[in-house]
């Protein structure tokens, strides 16, 4: 490991900005990736900045300086080292302005369709050829049907 590695640091949820500020005040470089989103109130719509990874900030520290990070208000734990290429990619995504949080989905995972004609159906995600398919089992008939849907139309089953 390098003497100045980047680490993911778990902080109290909704306290990412203050935790990052507390760590920075202690002389440690901190990165809080954010994205812009619209929030609706009864009287207005406002664009606000939210953390891209809720409950996490990223710090560049030598291993010997974990104590100032861990003892900062709002910090829960140092999770682990982040690869330099992942930090570079994260910075480029945030600078590009198109990053937004997304559920982590993988092939074979049970998902629910949350929009469109198949709303509420549960199936298994299959990716391939740049398209996403949800295979829905029809238990009564012991058959399966594959439906192509946009990734933003599905969410992981809980």
SS3 annotation, 103-154: CCCCCCCEEEECCCCCCCCEEEEEEECCEEEEEEEECCCCEEEEEECCHHHE
Determine the pLDDT at residue 69: 94
Q: Give the pLDDT band (50/70/90) at residue 100.
A: confident
Half-sphere exposure of 75 (CA within 13 A, CB side): 24
The DSSP H or E segment spanning 16 is helix 16-25
- The answer on pLDDT for 140 being more than 60 is no
pTM above 0.75, yes or no: no
Mean pLDDT of 6-23: 95
Residue 125 has pLDDT above 60, yes or no: yes
Residue 126 has pLDDT above 70, yes or no: yes
More confident residue, 144 or 115: 115
pLDDT (average), residues 40-69? 90
Query: What is the number of other CB atoms lying within 10 angstroms of the CB of residue 31?
Result: 16
Res 153: pLDDT? 81
């Amino acid at each position: 490991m390098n003497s100045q590695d980047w680490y993911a640091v778990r902080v109290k949820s909704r306290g990412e900005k203050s935790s990052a500020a507390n760590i920075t005040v202690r002389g440690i470089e901190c990165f809080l990736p954010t994205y812009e989103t619209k929030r609706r109130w009864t009287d207005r719509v406002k664009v606000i900045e939210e953390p891209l990874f809720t409950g996490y900030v990223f710090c560049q520290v030598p291993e010997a300086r974990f104590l100032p990070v861990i003892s900062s208000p709002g910090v829960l734990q140092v999770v682990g080292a982040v690869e330099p290429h992942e930090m570079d990619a994260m910075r480029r995504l945030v600078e590009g302005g198109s990053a937004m949080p997304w559920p982590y989905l993988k092939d074979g995972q049970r998902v629910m369709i949350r929009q469109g004609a198949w709303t509420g159906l549960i199936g298994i995600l299959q990716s391939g050829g740049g398209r996403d398919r949800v295979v829905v089992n029809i238990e009564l008939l012991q058959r399966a049907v594959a439906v192509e849907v946009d990734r933003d139309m599905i969410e992981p089953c809980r």
